[in-house]
Structure 1
Amino acid sequence: MANDILSGKSRGGIPRQPLPALAAEGLLKAVEATLEDFLAHQVTALDEVDLDLGGFARTTRDLVLAGGKRLRPTFAYWGWRGVIGTHEPIGPVLPALGALELMHTFALVHDDVMDESATRRGRPTAHRLFAAQHRDAGRIGDAKRFGASSAILVGDLCLVWADQLLAQTALTTATLFAVRACYDRMRIEAVAGQYLDVLGENQPAQWSLDQALLVARYKTASYTVQRPLQFGLALAGRSRDETGAIDEAYHRYGIAVGEAFQLRDDLLGVYGDPAVTGKPASDDLRTGKPTALLMIAQQLGASFDLETPATADQLEHQAEIIVETGAVAQVESLILQRVEQGVAALAGAPIHDDARAALTELAVTATHRPA
């Protein structure tokens, strides 16, 4: 599998350095293999109970393995390597890294139900898949409702599977408690951020840029960058006295780069190419999501009725207005500022140089991406 997160040319004025071989060639394959092996056993177990359950498990497995950037395991890996160094084998921590991807699938599937999204990663979303299965089988009842109900259960199952896979990590009891504490905090913050996101969609006229950035911090920065880094730090099994400075650097880097990641998502949600993003164009405008991009555009004089569904022509016009206000340029500037802040946070951190180089690279590639 090509590592599309760790390749590309220099962008944003941040120096680029080649990454160690494992990052470029082995990490994602190792995580993928861990997930495939774990999920194969889970599918078999449910198949033995009932064939329909086996089919449900296979659809869930396919959603987990349907590509994606695998950013959370990648950040966790480098958070761990920053402390542990280059010589420790990755095998013992692979279940923990894979668990983050199962948690991510839970969040994506539930998010797609809430947003009524049609596609994800270029494929039908979970609720659309199950609705189609309902129609194809000629079942009674409402296919759309069946699809949404089944997708919610897919997300629930992934969250349980994430716990099971995490429990397979070879850790001491003390380290496991520290890892679980970070993992639980990450899950709570992801749910909190998602609720704020839903709340904003239902009262867009009352929303502000500060609230949009708060959503970015909790819904995205926390569980995409900051907490995975600190999760990796916890996996290293060191005491707080040994890792306090690293924890602070990961915190500052994680919030800055995580917010930049969400700001890029805001731009892609309006201007991204569906063939590349795997999601419909102008999805955020269609749903009236009060993102930082829209809040900035309104501050700069744009006027939108976010409470009334817009036609395709109106969405295209709104996208043009946002550019004309200068909001896109301002968001690009905010992204660059945050990337520079994140990289600066690592400058004096007592972490291994290969991890510093990798995280510097990731700060750029994760926030200057086409999808």
Structure 2
Amino acid sequence: MPRTALILGHALGPDEEPIEVAPRQILRHQLTRLAGHGLHAQASLETEFVLFRGAYTPTSRVGLNGLVPVTVDNLDYALDHPPEYDRFFRRLQGSLSRAGMPVEAIKTEGAPGQVEVTFPYGPALPACDNHVVFKHAVRTLASRSAMTATFMAAPQTGVASGLHLHISLTRSGNPMLADQGGQLSETGTHAVARLLAALPGLAPLYAPNTNSYKRFTPGSFAPTRMTWGPDNRTCAVRIAGHGSGLHLEVRLPGADANPYLALSAAIVHGIERLLTPPTPCTTNAYEVVDAPVVPLTLDQARSAFRHSPVAREAFDKGVVEHYAHLAQLELDHHRGIVTDAEQARWFTRA
């Protein structure tokens, strides 16, 4: 919006101290911990969303005879797009650029109506601030174009939208994840090991809803096991880039994740403890059977989070209890709801 300022504020309590369970404060705390080791996190957030024709209302149906994706084909890396796509891309890119948030790339993805947007590398906290504004821009511009954008992790059966976190660490401006030969450094190796050890117990921070776990299916390019490997998009942690630009891509968060919380979970790694990661995966990670499984449900993830020694060490006890309670509220909300899928499967068969 022209001649309009948008302010992101800190959440403070009655004593004017930061509220520790606020997502932005949680990330600030983790960045301070890193800084205590002389390290600074740089991040680029790569997110996917799906565009549907029409305006969504609480009574809208998605699919046949309801809201349908803008396209029906796989347009991953396509050169040509429908006119409404092109107009939306131009408006989004122009609006973000004028707001001081130039994008690195906008492209169509594999699922019908799916879009991926990537931002340039930068300091971690502003990257998350910008992501919040970006999602607002996407929803607003889609609405003005008679479309609806959704950041659900699994908006339809067989569709998965992620929030991939590209992360690097620097010390005094020097990259720390790559050695002088452009290979993964000792710091990078420890970081990978810590991530694989920590992330199974931190799932409510990067997969907060019951729907989030429907994304973790084989063949979806969302991970199903805690694996890592060089340029391997079937892994939970992908080693991406080359030379001094070598970095980690954490592929676990869905598009529905809070960026501050997801990035906080992703930088709780390999600093305080020197761990050794398992053998890297160079094949299809969906066929791996000896690596820890990504939590299958929010219920399972909540239990692991509450009892995770990593969560208790990295976050204030109140933070752990707060987000475990939010997960329980989400579970309680869905527990008694009868879905269309249940009716279709059992209405005349039970």
Q: TM-score range by the shorter chain?
A: under 0.3
Q: Which has the higher contact order (CA 8 A, sep 6+)?
A: 1
Q: Please identify which structure carries the higher helix content.
A: 1
TM-score (norm 1): 0.27
Q: Please identify which structure carries the higher strand content.
A: 2
